[in-house]
């Protein structure tokens, strides 16, 4: 099978580390700066950063509709931290531009300002080697306050969902690109390959 291309939205935030991880797991990673580049990829990562800034830039560059259309057509998307916030349908507080695609309610900066960043071990469901704990790096992270019936929670911290999936959408509240453990990126790559083979069969 041809190497799939995974785009990483490169407007702001931790996109370089995602690109490195994508290359490491054997896919091709490209930074996406303009909506016209979206059609080059079979999957898209929306990285961590500052969701209000990413939202503003998405509007400025005209990304909102293009991403919404592709995800609704089935293109897999992976949102980490601020990317998770961008994919949510609802925030528990405040108003800011969102893609509004995944049936979750999100609380931003949920762990408070004091515990701004930390590392912890999580047990993930449905991901390779589920018995091995996953070391997750949280940076001013959100958590998922509430999930709709289509959403499958893959891991929790202190009872709150911090990684979840709905159809072709995968989100996590932490930064999987900042650790050596590539299981979550490989899981996303599997989603991309599966979707790609379905599209190829149809076409």
Hey, which residues are catalytic here?
81, 175, 177
In this chain, which stretch among 33-41, 48-56, 64-72, 156-164 interacts with ligand GLN, using CB under 6 A? 48-56
Selection from 185, 82, 70 nearest residue 124 by Cα: 185
Residue 170 as a binder of ligand GLN (CB under 6 A): the answer is: no
Residue 20 as a binder of ligand GLN (CB under 6 A): the answer is: no
Secondary-structure breakdown of the chain: helix, strand, coil percentages, each rounded to the nearest 5: 30, 30, 35
Residue 43 as a binder of ligand GLN (CB under 6 A): the answer is: no
For residues 12 and 147, which CB has a smaller minimum distance to ligand GLN in the complex?
12
Q: Which of 7, 43, 48, 79 binds ligand GLN (CB under 6 A)?
A: 48
- x/- track of binding to ligand GLN for residues 49-78 (CB under 6 A): xxx---------------------------
Query: Under the rule (CB under 6 A), what is the footprint of ligand GLN?
Result: 48-51, 81-82, 85, 108-109, 139-140
């Amino acid at each position: 099978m041809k190497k799939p291309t995974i785009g990483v939205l490169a407007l702001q935030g931790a996109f370089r580390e995602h690109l490195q991880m994508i290359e490491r797991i054997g896919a091709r990673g490209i930074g996406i700066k303009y909506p016209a580049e979206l059609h080059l990829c079979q999957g898209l990562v929306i990285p961590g950063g500052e969701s209000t800034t990413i939202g503003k830039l998405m509007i400025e560059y005209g990304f909102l509709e293009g991403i919404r259309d592709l995800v609704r057509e089935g293109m897999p998307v992976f949102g980490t931290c601020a990317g998770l916030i961008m994919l949510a349908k609802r925030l528990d507080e405040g108003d800011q531009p969102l893609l509004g695609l995944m049936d979750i309610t999100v609380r931003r900066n949920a762990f408070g300002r004091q515990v701004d960043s930390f590392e912890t071990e999580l047990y993930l469901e449905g991901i390779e080697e589920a018995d091995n704990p996953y070391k997750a790096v949280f940076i001013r992270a959100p958590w998922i306050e509430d999930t709709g019936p289509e959403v499958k929670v893959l891991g929790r911290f202190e009872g709150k969902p911090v990684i979840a999936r709905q159809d072709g959408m995968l989100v996590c509240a932490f930064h999987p690109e900042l650790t050596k453990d590539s299981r979550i990126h490989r899981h996303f790559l599997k989603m991309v390959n599966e979707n790609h083979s379905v599209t190829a069969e149809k076409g």
